[in-house]
């Protein structure tokens, strides 16, 4: 029984680690895209102001 429990425990830890890494990657990509969109909006606003 201990072997089965140990394997299950290791599998759970691996699953949790994979989920955590996936979540961190998703948050990082979200921040990168958000910053890129913000910079793009700022540049666009500057161009509009210069045209006026």
pLDDT profile of the chain (52 residues), mean per 10:
64 93 98 93 86 75
What pLDDT is stored for residue 45 in this prediction?
87
**What phi, psi does 39 have (nearest 5°)?**
-60, -40
Annotate 1-52 with three-state secondary structure: CHHHHHHHHHHHHHHHHHHHHHHHHHHHHHHHHHHHHHHHHHHHHHHHHHHC
Predicted local distance difference test score (pLDDT) of residue 33: 96
Q: What is d(CA 47, CA 45) in angstroms, rounded to the nearest whole number?
A: 5
């Amino acid at each position: 029984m201990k072997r089965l429990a140990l394997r299950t425990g290791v599998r759970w830890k691996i699953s949790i680690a994979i989920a955590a890494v996936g979540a961190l990657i998703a948050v990082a990509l979200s921040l990168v895209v958000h910053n890129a969109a913000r910079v793009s909006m700022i540049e666009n606003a500057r161009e509009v102001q210069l045209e006026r």
